[in-house]
Every structure is written in structure tokens, then in C-alpha cells.
Structure 1
Amino acid sequence: MKFIIRTIIIVVASHFSLLYFPWWSMAICAFFAGALIAGKNLSTFFSGFVGLGFLWLIQSFIIHNDSNGMLSNKIAELFGLSDGVFMVVISGLVAGIVGGFSTLSGFRFRRMFSRNKSRGLYR
């Protein structure tokens, strides 16, 4: 349940922040969502990956369709790719990785200040 709530918060906050702020504002939203809602390491990473990856994938696909693929096809040619859809998918993967690591960083930042720290293996 925390996974779904965290993912929805990331998607909604990032969508509205991308309307007014630069692209990296989505990483800040994911960081705060990871810091506010606790979970496990893998769950936290994948909620940011899924949330921002799908958000960026959908937005870039809408831009690709609205422009009939002109912009993404030209950028794909610069990278030596055959079609602009590959650029849409690659941009979704990059946004997913940024979102995953941002959310995980927020979660680890929260754990840094928690009282019940594990003693670790070598302490």
C-alpha cells in the first residue's frame, strides 16, 4: 500500500512541478516522497522508477504524437537511432533511473536520522 501511495504522490507532485520548474524538479519531488513515506530499499527505488519513468514516458509520447514525431526523429538521427520512438523509450528509462535514485536517497536520508539504527556486521 505504501508503494502505491508513494508512487501516486511522486507522479502528481512531479507533474505539477514540471509545469512550472525545470526538469530536475521531479527529482526533488521524488526525494521528498521517499523521505516522507518509509518503506524498504527496493520498494522505495521502484516506486520512484515506476512513477517518474511512466510520467516522463507518457509526456514524451504525447509530445511525439502531437508533433508527428518530427522532433524525436531528428534527435534520434543525431544519436544514430532509426526511429524517434526509441528516444521516447530511452528518455523514460533515464527519468525512471533519476526517480528511483532520488526516492532511494530521500529514504536513506530519513533513515540517517532514525533512532533504531542497526549495529551492523562489524560493530
Structure 2
Amino acid sequence: MKSFAHFLLVLLLAYAAGMILPWWSVALVAFLVTLLMPLSPGKSFFSAFMGIFVLWMILAFYMDVRNDHLLANRMSEMILKVRSGPLMGAVSSFLGALVAGFAASTAAFVRAPKKVA
């Protein structure tokens, strides 16, 4: 249940931060949420990864439909050499999710107790 709350908080705060901050604000949000709601590094990575992946897929689909698939198809032709708007959305969502996941796991490692031998 704590992982779902973490997922939801990352998703909502990243959406709010994305309105006024640059794209990399997802890393700040994932880092801060994980500092406030401690999880294990693996769970925090997966939770933040899925939160940003879902958010960016929804936003990419919404923007793609609004401009009649023109921009995503052209960008996918230019970057991926394939005409596929959904693939472009999935690739960009995956990259953003990796950034958030690594930021969240970094916060989990920072917060982990240090063992001194």
C-alpha cells in the first residue's frame, strides 16, 4: 500500500511540477518523495519508474491526439527511422521513467542506514 501511495504522489506532483518546471523536474519530485516516504531502493525505483512512465504515456497520447498525430509521426521518422507515433511516446516515456527511477533509488540509498564495520 505504501508503494501505491508513493506511485500516486510521484505521478501527481510530477504533473504539477511539469506545469512550471523543466522536464527534469521529475527527478527532483521522485527524489523528494522518496526522502519523505522511505522505501527500499528496488521498490522506490519501480514505483517512481511506473509513476512517470504512466504519466508521460498519458500526456504523450493526449498531445498526439490533439495535433492529429503529425508531430509524433514526424519525430519518430526523424529519430527512430520508423513512422510510429505511439513508439515515440513509449521511448520518451521510458527515458523519463529511467530518470525518475534512478533519482528515487538514489534517495533510498541516501536514506539507508550506514553500516560501519
TM-score bucket (shorter structure): over 0.9
Q: Could you tell me how far 1:96 is from its partner in structure 2?
A: 1.2
CA distance in 2, matches of 1:84, 1:105: 32
CA distance in 1, matches of 2:50, 2:8: 10
Q: Could you tell me how far 1:82 is from its partner in structure 2?
A: 2.3
CA distance in 2, matches of 1:21, 1:45: 22
1:10 maps to: 10
Q: Could you tell me how far 1:13 is from its partner in structure 2?
A: 0.6
CA contact (8 A) 2:74 2:83 kept: no
SS of 1:39's partner is coil
Q: Deviations over 1:49-106 (max 9, x none)?
A: 0001110111011001111110001101102022111101111111111111111111
CA distance in 1, matches of 2:10, 2:74: 31
CA contact (8 A) 2:30 2:104 kept: yes
Task: Give the structure-2-normalised TM-score.
Answer: 0.93
2:115 maps to: 118
1:66 maps to: 66
Task: Give the structure-1-normalised TM-score.
Answer: 0.88
1:98 maps to: 99
Moved over 4 A (4+): none
1:57 maps to: 57
Unaligned runs of 5+ in 2: none
1:72-87 matched pairs, under 5 angstroms? 72-79=72-79, 80-87=81-88
CA distance in 2, matches of 1:103, 1:37: 10
CA contact (8 A) 1:11 1:55 kept: yes
CA contact (8 A) 2:41 2:106 kept: no
Q: Which amino acid in 2 is paired with 1:91?
A: S
CA contact (8 A) 1:3 1:44 kept: yes
2:19 maps to: 19
CA contact (8 A) 2:41 2:104 kept: no
CA distance in 2, matches of 1:118, 1:17: 35
CA contact (8 A) 1:4 1:47 kept: yes
Q: Which amino acid in 2 is paired with 1:97?
A: L
Count of equivalent residues: 116
Higher Cα radius of gyration: 1
